[in-house]
Amino acid sequence: MVSPFEVLEVDEDADDEAVERAYRERVKRAHPDQGGSIEEFQLVRRAYRELSERDGNGDAGDGTDPADVDLTEGDDAREPRSTRVEFLDYEAVVDYGWSLEDDELFRKAAHADLGPDAHGRLLVHADESLLEAAERSGFAWPFSCRGGACANCAVYLAEGELSQPTDHIMPDDLAERGFRLSCNGYPLTDELSVVFNVKQRPELDDLILPPGPFTRR
């Protein structure tokens, strides 16, 4: 696993001031609007957060992320913001006989008698994958490898856009139909509508890992 020092390109004995300077430079280069990628941007943000919490108090300086106030020199590039996600369990889709391609799917879900784990909303922070946000919010979405090597964590993207790294297992034809991996998918839009737990779809059968010690559901 790459250390936060390697990500920020600083020595392990670097002080807080040196870490902050390095972070300001790295986050500019990593920003999607400056030629970087959302995955690299999140990695840099996470590395800075880890090093900022070395003293154990969870704060860095005044608690402000430098990227929030000085991400770029211009006004055109904006920091990715938190994303509002409406989610729906695929089991409910099956139980009610609904279709993933139905434009009224989430409206129907809102009027159905579904529990909060089956249909609801959550917030994805700028440095979280969709799966991480679901777990932080207390939801037990299925997963297995966490590395994009299986489709146990797959979701169906009904609205919005979710990043999909190039080194993933999802075939292009399924990705074009809206299937994504929540373990390494980062929101690219302010709002998302996703159906989770779609691993039971027949087209994903060959991409599923068998139950193991790290598999959920």
Instruction: Catalogue all structural domains in the chain, each as residue range(s) with its CATH number.
Output: 4-69 (1.10.287), 83-207 (3.10.20.30)
Task: Give the Cα separation of 136 and 123 in Å (integer).
Answer: 10
Provide the pLDDT for residue 48: 82
DSSP string, 139-206: ----BS-SSSSSSTTEEEEEES-B---SS-SS-HHHHHTTEEESSS--B-SSEEEEEE-GGGSGGGGG
Provide the percentage of residues in the chain whose pLDDT is more than 90: 47
Task: Give the Cα separation of 142 and 154 in Å (integer).
Answer: 8
Q: What is the pTM of this model?
A: 0.68
Which residues, listed in sequence order, are joined to residue 205 by a DSSP beta bridge? none
The better pLDDT of the pair 184, 31 is held by: 184
Is residue 108's pLDDT more than 80?
yes
Question: Contact at 8 Å (CB) between 32 and 80?
Answer: yes
Is residue 164's pLDDT more than 90?
no
Task: Give the Cα separation of 19 and 24 in Å (integer).
Answer: 9
